[in-house]
Every structure is written in C-alpha cells, then in structure tokens.
Chain A
Amino acid sequence: MSFLNNVITGISLGSIYAIIALGYTMVYGIAKMLNFAHGDVIMVGAYVCFFATGSFGLHPVAGVLLAMVVCTILGMVIEGLAYKPLRQAPSLAVLITAIGVSWFLQNSAQLLWGAAPKVFTPVVSGGLSIFGGQLNISYVTILTVASCLVIMAVLSAFIGKGKMGKAMRACSEDKGAAQLMGINVNSTISMTFAIGSALAAIAGVLMCSAYPTLMPTTGSLPGIKAFTAAVFGGIGSVPGAFVGGLLLGIIEIFAKAYISTDLSDAIVFLALIIVLLVKPSGLLGKYVPEKV
C-alpha cells in the first residue's frame, strides 16, 4: 500500500511540475528564451490567492481566478518591459535579465509581504480513505491531477487545432515567415507569456495547497525542477513537459521513499543527466527529418 501511496504522491507532485513546465516549454518554444522568473510568478500567484482568501475572505475559486488574472498581467508586463526590448539581443543578455527579474520578484515579495513563511490554507480539505484507511488520497491530490489533465487536454487542443495555437507553432518555427503570413509575432509572444503565467498561478495554488509553506523563495526550487522536467521531456514540446513533469515527480518521491531524502534532488538531476546523455533533445524532443 505504501508503494501505491508513493505512486499517487509522485503523480501529484509531478502534475504540479508538469503545469509549471508547460509555461517554461511554451515560452522557450516561441521566444527561444528561458524565463527563469517563471518560478517566481508561481510564488506571486500563491500569495495573491493567500491574501484573497485569507485576508479578504474570498471563496477559493475566486482566489484562484484572481491569482490567474494577476499572474497573466504580471507575465505580460514582464515580457513587455524586460524581454521585448531584448528581442534582437544575444541570448545571454536575455538569460541574465530573466535571472534579474526573478530576484526582483523575490525581493519585491519580501518587501511587500515579509520574509516570514505564511501557512497557506489548502483550497480544498479532506480526502478519500480507501482499503480501510490503508490508502489515503487527499482532495488536493485529486484536484491537482485532474487540473493537470484538463490543462493538458485544453492546451493540446488549442495548440493543435486553434488558429492562434497554430500561429504560435508557426512563430516558434520561423518568426520571419510567420510575419509574412500576417501573424503578429509580438502579440503571439505576449499571449504565450500570458498563458504560461496563468498556468503558473494555478500551479502556485495547487503546490501551496499540498505543501503549505509560502514565502518569497517558494517558487524558485520548484521552478528549477520544472525547468528540469521541461528539458527532461524535450524543451519546446508540450507533451514532453507533461511526461517530463510526471516522471520527475515520481522519481523524486521514489528517491525520497526508497533511497534517501537528502539525496532525492541529486537523484532527480542524475536522471536528467542520463536522459540527456542518451537522448540530447529530451524524451520527446522534436526531431523532424528534413529533406532539402
């Protein structure tokens, strides 16, 4: 039973990584940049929900929606102010800017809300107990996994079938050609940040519901791990982020349960290194045979 419990915990954690990784991978796919501030947007989303439900007494659903709105705007503002002016700049300049934005968000959070951890109230409480209490599944876990599946399905349909989703794919391949089609590349990039940041808000709330310590640095390690998940699955690939996130969550929980809690992060990154050695483009990384 403990094995099954571990699997469920792993899938739940993996679902959170997957939702965060989607933001990384979509932004990378289109803007060809690593938005290291993405993890901190998660933290902002969690704080917004924390104050909306705690201090202002809003319903958790309203809290989540408000967090999504705030993060969407935040993501678009970050892109417009910090990254858009660097569209032609070398990628190193963009990377350093992203790290700068990350610190800016963490320090702003510390200034506004203090460094002391807050105890996040889960958006749902309770859970299922089956097999006479041997297997316990919290509603947060169910909500997390369900959210991840719904997000994945909606996003796949949007990118696969939607007009704007296809435009996003066109931009990710060739911005010049996309412009020749009449696609506004700047607004497409902005939209990608908006979607990724809204997802970050959801991830923030789910994560803090499962692991209820909220502080200004809450987003950074999950952010890095979700980035790892995105690379693991193949950066730029949406299904890759999903698979990478889930696997990473399961590996992490298994490592904690059966090998060593202290070494779990090292084991996660070791798994990444092995995958990249065997398949440098990641598990589902894109490789399209191309005839010229």
Chain B
Amino acid sequence: MALLQVNDIHVYYGSIHAVKGVSFEVNQGEVVTLIGANGAGKSTVLNTISGLLHPRTGGVVFEDHDLKGVAPHKVVSHGLAQVPEGRRIFLQMSVEENLEMGAFTQPGSTVEPGIADVYERFPRLKERRRQIAGTLSGGEQQMLAMGRALMSKPKLLMLDEPSMGLAPILVEQIFDIIKELHAAGTTILLVEQNAQAALAVADRAYVMETGKITLSGTGAELMASDQVQKAYLGG
C-alpha cells in the first residue's frame, strides 16, 4: 500500500480545468518528482493534496485516510508538510519563530529538540536565529522553508519548486539537502521545473503536461527518454 495515493483528481479554478484526471502514488521512503513546464498543474496537485484546493472529482488517500473534506490546517497533523512555491516564509517573523510555526501542531515539549535538529542540518539558520526572516538571502529562505516544514515531523515532505529563483550553486545545495533527507529516510514528493536536477535525485518521476500525466518511470528512465530530452533537457 502506497503512503500517498492520488486517484484521478480533477481540479478547477472557476471554469478553468487545471488538473484533468491525475493519478499517481508515492511509496514510503521514495523521492518522487513531478516535472513539467510552467502552468502544467503541478502546484495545483500539491495544493490539492494539502487541502488548500478541493478536487471536483477523485480523491487523495494518505496512509489509509481519505483526505476528502479535511481542512488544510488538519492535513498537517496527518503527517503531510508542504514547502510552498516561492517559499512563503513569514518574512516579518524571526527565523526561530518561523520554525516554531512549523511545529504548531506538535506538543510543546518537542519544539526545542526539533529546532535543534533543524539547526544541525542548516547551521546557517542557527547563526541567524534571531534575525527577521525577510532579511535572509534567497538560499537561506529556502532552507528556512524546508526546516520549517520538517518541524512538523512529516511522513511526507512535499517541495514545490525549491530551486526556483536561486543561483546555480544554491540549487546544487538544495538538491544535496534533498539527497541527504532521502538518505535519512524521508519520503519526498518534489515538484520541479528543473527536470535535470529533479530526475537525478528521484527514484520515480511523472511528467505533467497541461493538467495530465503524460509519462512516468524511474528517474533514470525518464532522463534517457527522447521525449523528456527534447522537451525539458534541451537534448
């Protein structure tokens, strides 16, 4: 039984049919990536899983729990955390307060050890713990967004375009962190436009085009596929 099952979801923005029957699954311990061009519906899928959007038909099952009608603030308690597109950290709050917000659903006694774990993984954040998050650099903000999501001790970490807007060296750092998290046993669903980097870290991958999944396979298979080469890797 997969950890996360997305079953034939159709999602609309008003009359716009953004996601047209998407199904996929994520198994325990996997890194699964959803790649595709801007506007393919990748973020819409993530926001549907998080409960911020509701599918008109189809559903999301996480660990045997049907997430239908579960309010977004309750989804976190099921063990799903999302690092949203554009990071969306709380810019006017301090680094440490951002991490505390990540642990909002956790019992108070686990917050401090959780923060210590995040600081161990991201020493830069510890140096800047009292700083207002809006003054961090882009890469640091992405680390904070990831650390904040990890604070809820998620069973599944969903990352939406973590490399967006970052310098190449920072993109590399972010993907190194994804590899480390994977090695530590974290299950990850990664949405990316940077197909090359995403496929390199993914166990399995799905290609989305205009609201549908058009290809799927292991990361290596898709990397070698002519179709993906042409469309996303400039090959």
Residues of A in contact with B (beta carbons under 8 Å apart): 163, 166-167, 169-170, 173-174, 176-185, 286, 288-292
State whether A184 touches B73 (Cβ < 8 A): yes
B214 at the interface (CB under 8 A from A): no
State whether A181 touches B148 (Cβ < 8 A): yes
State in angstroms the CA–CA spacing of A279 and B81 once bound together: 40
**In the complex, what residue of chain B is closest to A174 when comparing beta carbons?**
B88
State whether A176 touches B84 (Cβ < 8 A): yes
The number of chain B residues with a CB under 8 A from chain A is 36
How far, in Å, is B137 (CB) from chain A's closest CB?
6
State whether A182 touches B105 (Cβ < 8 A): yes
Instruction: Give the residue among A174, A177, A290 with the most B Cβ atoms within 10 A.
Output: A177
State whether B97 touches A288 (Cβ < 8 A): no
How far, in Å, is B146 (CB) from chain A's closest CB?
13
State in angstroms the CA–CA spacing of A180 and B104 once bound together: 10
Instruction: Take A286-B92, A288-B134, A290-B134 as given contacts and tell me if A176 and B101 are in contact as well, using a CB distance cutoff of 8 Å.
Output: no
**In the complex, what residue of chain B is closest to A166 when comparing beta carbons?**
B97
Chain A residues near B105 (CB, 8 Å)? Answer: 181-182
Within 8 A of A (CB), among B67-87: 71-74, 76-77, 81-82, 84
B88-99 toward A: CB 8 Å interface, digit per residue (1/0)?
111111000100
How far, in Å, is B224 (CB) from chain A's closest CB?
35
State in angstroms the CA–CA spacing of A289 and B134 once bound together: 7
State whether A180 touches B134 (Cβ < 8 A): no
**In the complex, what residue of chain A is closest to B132 when comparing beta carbons?**
A288
B186 at the interface (CB under 8 A from A): no
How far, in Å, is B49 (CB) from chain A's closest CB?
11
Instruction: Take A173-B91, A173-B92 as given contacts and tell me if A182 and B134 are in contact as well, using a CB distance cutoff of 8 Å.
Output: no
State whether A177 touches B102 (Cβ < 8 A): no
Instruction: Take A291-B134, A291-B137 as given contacts and tell me if A182 and B90 are in contact as well, using a CB distance cutoff of 8 Å.
Output: no
